Amino acid sequence: MNQVEASASSGRRLEGLFVALVEDLRAFIRGRRVSYEEYHRALEFLARVGAAGELPLLVDVFLETMVDEVNHGGRPGTESCLEGPYYARGAPLLEPPYVLPQRANEGGDVLFFSGRVRSTDGAPLAGVLLDLWQADAAGRYSQFNYEEPRFNLRGRLQTDDDGRFEVRTVVPASYEIPKAGPTGELLSALGRHAFRPAHLHVKLSREGWEPLTTQLYMDGDPWIDSDVVGAVKAALVARLVKRDSPADLEERGLKRPYFTLGYDFTLDPGEHP
Ligand code: BEZ
Ligand code: FE
């Protein structure tokens, strides 16, 4: 397809989507007998969402899991999970031994996150790029909840020759999406809490395999069954293990208890085995 054909085809796709969306919304207004007062309140709400810069947040909270399902549901390999609004491109490429960038006074417990990446036929995959990002021990993301350092608790690393990786970081906290703005107001009006269970975000990529964006959750998290975004999948819940025996501390040369979380990923070769 040349550029002119591609642009005509994307124009037709846009028109088809837009017409269907307007039809669905008109049917919704008719079916729900939406009043003028409700219509104006909705407009005022959306204007405030835009002014507060919360459009990506609002839409990700209510709709992104469906986009993920439509695009990745039923695919072989590790299950996908939404990207959410807090990804930042260009995180530093780290050198082993991997440690996510941290502030000098970074709070929280030390976490060693490790695992192995395989192809769906079981072969270990070397050179898979893992792009990791997470909230800190207070549930805050760099660049969104605090400015500096820009790539705090964000980094990219690679699997070794056996497809293995290990990275040192801190245990993320469960996270409350901003409550002060219009998205929080809406959740509170709906009688819903604003928590996401603690999670690690990761994008995995390697040429010739389908890229995977997913999240890992931690067994026992108080919000695991009531994620505000509804994104938790059982297969993505991993065991967070506390290590506090003298042998554990000696193994890592640490003086206080730490945690480990292991998870093995499987990537789908798609059309290119
Ligand atoms: C998150 O993963 O942190 C997230 C996802 C969707 C909405 C808000 C936050
Ligand atoms: Fe997140």
Cα end-to-end span (Å), the chain: 25
Contact between 114 and 96 under an 8 Å Cβ cutoff? The reply is no
Query: In testing the pocket of ligand 1, which one of 175, 196, 202, 233 has its CB within 8 Å of the most ligand atoms?
Result: 196
In short, whether 81's Cβ falls inside 6 Å of ligand 1 is no
Whole-number Å distance between alpha carbons of 186 and 184:
5
Whole-number Å distance between alpha carbons of 273 and 269:
5
**Please, which contacts does 234-237 make with residues 24 or more away whose CB atoms are closer than 8 Å?**
235/78, 235/79, 236/78, 236/79, 236/81
Q: How far is the CA of 247 from the centre of ligand 2 (A)?
A: 33
Q: What is the model's pLDDT at position 272?
A: 54
| H or E element at residue 189 | helix 182-189
Contact between 267 and 98 under an 8 Å Cβ cutoff? The reply is no
Q: What is the model's pLDDT at position 68?
A: 98
Query: Which neighbouring-strand residues pair with 164?
Result: 116
Whole-number Å distance between alpha carbons of 70 and 254:
45
In short, whether 84's Cβ falls inside 6 Å of ligand 1 is yes
* Dihedral Cα 133, 138, 141, 144, nearest 10 deg: 170
Strands 164-170 and 154-158: unpaired
In short, whether 86's Cβ falls inside 6 Å of ligand 1 is yes
Residues of the chain with pLDDT under 70: 272-273
